Structure 1
Amino acid sequence: MSDAPTPPQATQVPVERTHHGDTVVDPYEWLRDKESQEVLDHLHAENAYTEVVTADQQSLRDTFFAETKHRTVETDLSVPSRQGDWWYFTRTIEGEQHPVFCRVPAAPDDGGLAAWTPPEVEPGVALAGEETYFDTNAEAAKHPFYQLGGMTRDQAGHLLAYSEDTSGDEHHSLRFRDLSSGETLDEAVENVHGGPVLDPAGERAYYMVADAAWRPHQLWVHTVGTPAASDRMLLQIDDEQLWTGIETSADERELLIISGNAEYDESRLLDLTAPDAEPQLLISAARRLLHTVEPIELDGDGVLLITHNQSGANNALSLTSTAALRAQSEDEPLDLGTTVLPHEETVKLEGVAVTAAEVLVSSRRDTIESVQRLPLATLRAVRDGATPTPTSQLDGLRFDADLYTCFLASARYEAPLFRVAYTSWFTPPRIYDIPHPTSGEGSPEPILRRETPVHDVDLDAYRATRIWAPTDDVDASGAQVQIPVTVLHHRDVTPDSGNPTLIYGYGSYEISMDPSLQIASLSLLDRGIVVAVAHVRGGGELGRGWYEDGKKLAKPNTFRDFVTATDHLVTTGWADPERIAAWGGSAGGLLMGAVANMAPEKYVAIVAQVPFVDNLTSILDPDLPLSALEWEEWGNPITDEDVYWCMKSYSPYENVHDAAYPAIAAVTSLNDTRVLYVEPTKWVQRLREHQQGEAPIVFKIEMDGGHGGASGRYEAWKDRAWDYAFIAHHLGVAADAGR
């Protein structure tokens, strides 16, 4: 190692932090000043060092990128979706980073299936009357970074409202385009959070504005054709633990406003047909109810479907009305009306979507997400006194695979069909249109509209296997807790204890790691690497309880589960104990940092992307972006001493110690507002101080990117190739070792 380059060493400037009688001295907190030239120089030096140290991985990177590029159909398209008198779809073009948004006129809507059968679109072949209404590549060419925050159109297809981020910091500009002329209007609204919502007539745009902590807290309305200075604020949410989002109701007559976090929500409705309407409170945050709201018209009456956790953690569905909710005093127990779908211990009710023909129910059972159908006749019967119907007894979509994902892609209120997306670990995404049942018929068969093509690969050559890693814990029923682990491998790979293995994990925010085809990972599988996904507690794969057992004071379960899953891969013969790598990002990056401290000897390499590794420092500062919102996930260490000591016990940055750490790559972006670049910057410095082995600790920072890295699909492929090359190199796998 004597010829190895010297890693950058940041100056140490001690800064004290004291909470609950505990004083911590942090020598690298000064690196938080991203305007400092000294900080920027240090970050550039880190990139230069990483480039030198990983130079011998370039062949792997080039190979992995080339294989992903070759297998991906670069000139591709989406299935057109109907809105009003137009079919809308996107094209991606070989050599271009971003999608091109197109549309073509639709035949008159007579309510039949024929009018809702999308036109056949071919790559590179324009349809009659096709228009390009937004070329993202042309917009992105003007900036080093470009990402759409969202776009929406009025019902008639005359106006487009969109928001764009040109730096990666998620500060968006709201702009408007006349779809008849193709001209972008002069008016704009700056510093918008996320995407806008247009009223059906395209006269008003509703948007959110964030506070200093980058929490969307104000709802504004902009009248198209007027200056932004005349915009009107409709709502301000002062509770620093609430994040506010907006969307239209299924019939587009109302704006749904949900202010919430991981544990409770506050809901409001705004009449989009009335220009001077004000938001109407339905259920306040004081109720501490986790819920969503869907307006529905039933026999001419406007009522509400409430998905909520009042009767159990896995949610139930109730039927009530706006008037009934607004008539209740905050001093009395909340009455949610009639139970339609009762709570079940084995099924997590995720939510519902309303159409004029039926209600579509999204649920999860045994880790699998799918869609069930709730007939309006059943809804009426329950309203009129019939026994509630469990979600598990509803008619659902059926697929042959054991491990798959099926979710609602779109459900236009007036359409005679709805659309779902289906995929599995080794099935490319499929789009199905499913007709609503008509009188006297059963459930119509799904209509396959498209399967995303994949070039030059035999997907039958791969296997997905589910194993369960036993823990020492028992659940509320007294049963042993077992961790689901998905094992992905080439069919020639068997559990013979000799396989290099990459294990991935996340385990936070009730986010599930659902099956989906990852083309880039095929390059690993082809080289005999086993890719395992550990569905650890803190995710949502096994219902709400699975999430709650991996948050706040129970957060250490997430880290122990990952190590348990690692050990089980060895015990079952899937993994060579001397060749295991780990990978995770954001909260999964926190997981990587925690297991690096807990069990560094079990891994030869770890990649931590945008890692939340100085989590205690961040959560202790409510002025930092999103910190106060995170208290519902991690607990509040400012006021709760138990939470403080729990977080300190696993904080990756604060628990680095003398150890032979594996090779570690921390990957981040300068303009990330969700996990600040300073966290991995500091972490890497401390890791190097305590590294007792010879494995390198490297740091790679995208200077023009955000939480998702650089913008554009080719840049994303290059980023993934970099990560996989680092992993494969340390697993001892060569670029030319493919099967």
Structure 2
Amino acid sequence: MHAPVSRIELPAPPVAQRKPVVSTHHGVTLTDDYAWLRADNWQDVMREPALLDADIRAYLEAENAYTQAALGSTAALQAELFQEMKGRLKPDDSTVPAPDGPFEYFANYVAGGQYPRLCRRARNSEGEHVLLDGNAEAEGKPYWDLGGKAHSPDHRLLAYSVDDKGSELYTIRIRDLETGRDHTDEIPDTRGEIVWANDSQTLLYIRLDANHRPLFVYRHRIGTPVSEDVLVYEEKDIGFYVGLDKTLSGKFLIVDAHDHQSNEVYLIDADKPDSPLVLVEKRVHGHEYQVDHHGDRLIITTNSGGAEDFRICETPADKPGQANWREILAHKPGRLIIDVAVFKDHLVRLEREDSLPRIIVRALSDGAEHAIAFGEEAYALGMSEGYEFDTTTLRFTYSSMTTPAETYDYDMAKRTRVLRKRQEIPSGHNPADYVTRRLFAPAADGETVPVSILYRKGTPLDGSAPLFLYGYGSYGISIPASFSTTRLSLVDRGFIFAIAHIRGGKDKGYHWYTDGKLDKKLNTFTDFIASGEHLVAQGLTKRGRIVANGGSAGGMLMGVVANMAPDLFLGIIADVPFVDVLNTMLDKDLPLTPPEWPEWGNPIESAREFEIIRSYSPYDNVEAKAYPHIFAYGGLTDPRVTYWEPAKWIAKLRRLNTSDNLVLLKTNMEAGHGGASGRFEQLREMALDYAFALKITGLAAV
């Protein structure tokens, strides 16, 4: 059995003041004792953290001090974990160069550097020309994040965006690649995305509104005042956001307006960036489609016509509407089309069936198809279009929970592959020392939940091993069974690591997503619990020996399962957790609330959806009971899951928890949703999470 966690020398934990705020919705009265932790000037705090109310700051800092004291005994372990994880990162790592015309572009790190350098070199040559050095740009800043980056078609300019607060407010700058100097053009308060028109003088970008919503597409011409930028598109529905892209052919700029289940696409002639938008097909609730271009036609990936897992159509480029769509690949239930790339001679799709991905290459000349095959029981797969349209080379990456990432260039015509890079682990890694398996946990309604597991050979499978169970389960996001250098620090110390591929993701097709949202959201939580219980039933661990982890919407999952099945878990690690679901969905002024209503429901308009959310919202369902050890992590400038969500949750948990287990909160006062920005500082945060897990399982000294 594991050793108990000592709390003998801990100071008294912070106690948040209770200042009840009462509200009534659909005849139901809600009382929120900790609403005061939400700063009235939160928009200003996103831009300037120093403006945070003094009482709120004092409380967050007291919580940070208490967490530091509670985990103080693990300081040496944290340092050991950090050095261990850092030792698995190649100090001078580099991406495989991607060719584009006379150059090939890549990013690399220098030994000791926290941030990437953007580089290029002449095609098929050696050496490097540094276009942007993230380490130099970030010097003296507590936070620095490179957002969008795009070189101009003539290769003379680099447009890039930077956030130095963690608030996801990116400033766009344009660098002359001959002189290395930035133009005077500087565009603040953007989402960070950038696409170039073919004249290499015009770019499109997205500006955010006062509530941090990306609703406006603007056109900027190099050398002109930002105040003269032209509004290209304005989204009137605050439940929709806009995105930007460009077809690989270079023919069209793409403006995409979308929520979580519907979208519409507009095209702009990339040779004539001041030409009007052309609508492909107007939005219809529940219709999602993606647009690519080839010759005189558009290639449309769509879920129209009952194609839940998507089908592929084509249409004349000058007649883009749905009435002209002709099917070229029929829908197959259970085969989810994840992504499509269109090259001069080939159409490539990444699809998933039976919860495993594969790549299918189709010759456009005759429609002949072949698959790129893989052999492991559980693995992850991704593909990259690169920059070039007229090529037979497809780049893809492969990894598994035991196999470090491998990058291949695949000749689609010759059907041959060349290994371009294998992820190096400087401290050493032998895949044969580890085992990865895929299990299927039975859910209460007869479904089976895929669970990917990793453990070191020799780990006892008699129930004595602690188990680290990760889950997400929202927005249709599937968590791949990919390689991670960090989790080796847990499995090398005796943990079994597991990923529960629960409903709310798309691991088993689009229905796996729809069965885990809105009025079926409960499936997400019960799937996760069923996964843990199945691993216990298989003898891999014991009840009360599981440490669960999830972040953001996965942090909401953590809050719910802590309420629903507290005795199943020894500990809960909730990173930037979306735990105040009901209050957030009732606040239409928060950045993400209106676009989130299709995912969770609109409790303002619907009494039924109000009750559904209220039934599971973690903060609203904390009650007097024995909770497992809980560690929550927040970011002060986080616009996605605002800092007060974990702060309120921990305050309520500490008041009502009847166990003697740790209840801890750490707020990064200089970062947002993604945590620390440097690649090594991120490892320090992971080391803290893992030290917490090792401490509560009694393995901290191992």
- Same fold per TM (> 0.5)? yes
Q: SS where residue 447 of structure 2 aligns?
A: strand
Instruction: Tell me the distance in 1 between the aligned counterparts of 2:70 and 2:324.
Output: 61
Report what 2:411 is aligned to: 435
Q: Which residue of 2 aligns with 1:133?
A: 131
Instruction: Give, as a single letter, the amino acid of the residue that structure 2 aligns with 1:422.
Output: Y
* Equivalent residue, structure 1, for 2:633: 667
| Residue number among 380, 383, 389 corresponding to 1:408 in the alignment | 383
Amino acid at match of 1:87: E
- Alignment-derived partner of residue 66 in structure 1: 83
Deviation at 1:706, TM superposition (A): 1.2
Match of 1:420 among 396, 418, 442: 396
Amino acid in the other structure paired with 1:435: D
Q: Distance in 2 between matches of 1:3 and 1:399?
A: 53
**Alpha-carbon separation, structure 2, partners of 1:193 and 1:312:** 32
Q: TM-score, normalised by structure 1?
A: 0.90
Q: Per-residue deviation at 1:2? A: 6.2
CA distance in 1, matches of 2:159, 2:58: 39
Distance in 1 of aligned mates of 2:494 and 2:77:
15
Q: Deviations over 1:661-698 (max 9, x none)?
A: 11101101000000000000000000001110111111
Query: Any idea what SS the aligned residue of 1:212 has?
Result: coil
CA offset at residue 637 of structure 1?
A: 1.2
Give the AA of the match of 2:271: T
SS in 2 for 1:285: coil
Aligned to 2:156: 158
Looking at structure 2, the residues matched to 2 and 573 of structure 1 have their Cα atoms a distance apart, in angstroms, of: 34
Q: What is the Cα deviation at residue 49 of structure 1? A: 1.0
- Which of 437, 443, 453 is the aligned partner of 2:424? 453
How do residues 366-405 of structure 1 correspond to structure 2 at under 5 angstroms? 366-378=354-366, 394-405=369-380
Instruction: Please give the per-residue CA displacement for 1:399-438, whole angstroms capped at 9, x wherever unaligned.
Output: 222211222123420223121111111111111111231x
Q: CA–CA distance in 1 between the matches of 2:173 and 2:241? A: 23
Give deviations 1:265-304, integer Å, cap 9, x for gaps: 111101111142121111111364111111211xxx2334
Give runs of aligned pairs for residues 541-552 of structure 1, distance below 5 A: 541-552=507-518
> Given the alignment of the two structures, is residue 310 of structure 1 paired with residue 305 of structure 2, yes or no?
yes
Structure-1 separation of matches of 2:593 and 2:116? 33
Match of 1:97, as an amino acid? Q
Aligned position for 2:47:
none
- Is 1:18 matched up with 2:6? no
Report if aligned partners of 1:83, 1:155 keep a CA contact under 8 Å in 2.
no
Using the TM superposition, give the Cα deviation of residue 336 of structure 1 relative to its aligned residue in structure 2, in angstroms. 5.0
Aligned counterparts of 1:630 and 1:662: Cα–Cα separation in 2: 30
User: What's the TM-score once normalised by structure 2's chain length?
Assistant: 0.95
1:551-587 Cα distance to aligned partner (Å, 9 max, x none)? 0010011111111111111100111224211111000
Q: Answer whether contact 1:469 1:568 (CA < 8 A) is retained.
A: yes
How far the C-alpha of 1:205 sits from its partner, in A, is: 1.3
Structure-2 residue corresponding to 1:330: none
CA distance in 2, matches of 1:491, 1:471: 29
Confirm or deny: 8 A CA contact 1:616 1:647 kept in the other structure: yes
| Displacement after TM superposition at 1:213 (Å) | 3.2
2: CA distance, partners of 1:81 / 1:325: 31
* Secondary structure of 2:319's aligned partner: helix
Moved more, 505-514 or 417-426: 417-426
Q: Distance in 2 between matches of 1:234 and 1:597?
A: 47
**Aligned position for 1:109:** none
Given residue 582 of structure 2, which amino acid in structure 1 is its aligned partner? Answer: L
Identify if the C-alpha distance between structure 1 residues 303 and 467 changes in structure 2 by more than 3 Å, giving closer, same or farther: closer
1:446 partner SS: strand
* d(CA) in 2 for partners of 1:667, 1:287: 36
Q: CA–CA distance in 1 between the matches of 2:311 and 2:558?
A: 35
Deviation at 1:309, TM superposition (A): 3.8
- Output the amino acid matched with 1:485: V
1:716 matched to 2:682: yes
Q: Structure 1 CA distance, aligned partners of 2:271 and 2:232?
A: 15
Q: Which amino acid aligns with 2:580?
A: D
Q: Following the alignment from structure 1 to structure 2, what is the Cα–Cα distance between the partners of residues 502 and 2?
A: 27
- Structure 1 Cα separation of the partners of residues 610 and 684 of structure 2: 39
1:469 to 441, 454, 458: 441
Matches within 5 A, 1:26-425: 26-33=32-39, 35-106=52-123, 118-119=124-125, 127-128=126-127, 130-286=128-284, 288-297=286-295, 301-326=296-321, 334-378=322-366, 394-411=369-386, 412-425=388-401
Q: Which runs of 5+ in 2 are unaligned?
A: 1-6, 43-51
- Rounded to whole Å, the distance in 2 between the matches of 1:360 and 1:578 is 46
- Aligned equivalents of 2:206, 2:152: Cα separation in 1: 18
1:687 alignment partner AA = L
Change (3 A) 1:499 1:336: farther
- Kept in 2, the 8 Å contact 1:501–1:532? The answer is yes
Contact 2:193/2:244 (<8 A) preserved: no
SS in 2 for 1:667: strand
Q: 3-state SS of the aligned residue for 2:486?
A: helix
Aligned-residue offset at 1:64: 1.1
Q: Is contact 2:171–2:190 with CA below 8 Å preserved after alignment?
A: yes
Q: Deviations over 1:687-713 (max 9, x none)?
A: 001110111111001111111001100
Matched, 1:639 2:605: yes
* Structure-2 separation of matches of 1:734 and 1:704: 28
| Aligned residue runs from structure 1 range 677-692, under 5 A | 677-692=643-658
CA distance in 2, matches of 1:454, 1:310: 48
Instruction: Indicate the residue corresponding to 1:527 in structure 2.
Output: 493
Q: How does 1:446-595 map to 2 (within 5 A)?
A: 446-455=417-426, 456-473=428-445, 480-595=446-561
Q: Are the counterparts in 1 of residues 543 and 567 from structure 2 also a CA contact under 8 Å?
A: no
- What amino acid sits opposite 2:183 in the alignment? L
Q: For residue 3 of structure 1, report the CA deviation from its aligned partner.
A: 4.4
CA contact 2:406–2:421 (8 Å) conserved in 1: yes
Distance in 1 (CA, whole Å) between partners of 2:101 and 2:344 is: 16
Deviations along 1:55-84, one digit per CA (max 9) or x if unpaired, are: 011122111111111122112111111112
Q: Give the Cα separation in 1 of the matches to 2:381 and 2:362.
A: 17
The Cα shift of 1:494 comes to 4.2
Q: Which amino acid aligns with 1:344?
A: K
How far has the Cα of 1:151 moved from its partner? 0.4
Query: What SS does structure 1 have at the residue aligned with 2:87?
Result: helix
Q: Which amino acid aligns with 2:116?
A: P
CA distance in 1 between counterparts of 2:185 and 2:262 reads 37
Q: 1:336 to 1:583 in 2, by over 3 A?
A: farther
Asked whether the 8 Å contact 2:248–2:385 carries over to 1, the reply is no
Amino acid at match of 1:467: L
1:576-608 per-residue CA deviation (whole Å, 9 max, x = no partner) reads 224211111000000000000011111111100
In the alignment, which residue of structure 1 is the partner of 2:14? 8
Question: 1:27-56: CA deviations, max 9, x gaps?
Answer: 111111153111111111111111111101
Task: Name the aligned partner's letter for residue 16 of structure 2.
Answer: A
Identity across aligned pairs (percent)? 34
Distance (Å, rounded) in 2 between the aligned partners of 1:470 and 1:192: 45
User: 2: distance between equivalents of 1:138 and 1:558?
Assistant: 44
Given that 1:282 and 1:322 are in contact with CA atoms closer than 8 Å, whether structure 2 keeps it comes out as no
Please say which of residues 582-591 and 394-403 is displaced more in the overlay.
394-403
Q: Against the structure 1 CA distance between its residues 336 and 37, is the aligned structure 2 distance closer, same or farther, given a 3 Å change threshold?
A: farther
| Structure 1 alignment gaps of length 5 or more | 107-117, 120-126, 327-333, 380-388, 438-442, 474-479
RMSD, aligned CA: 1.5
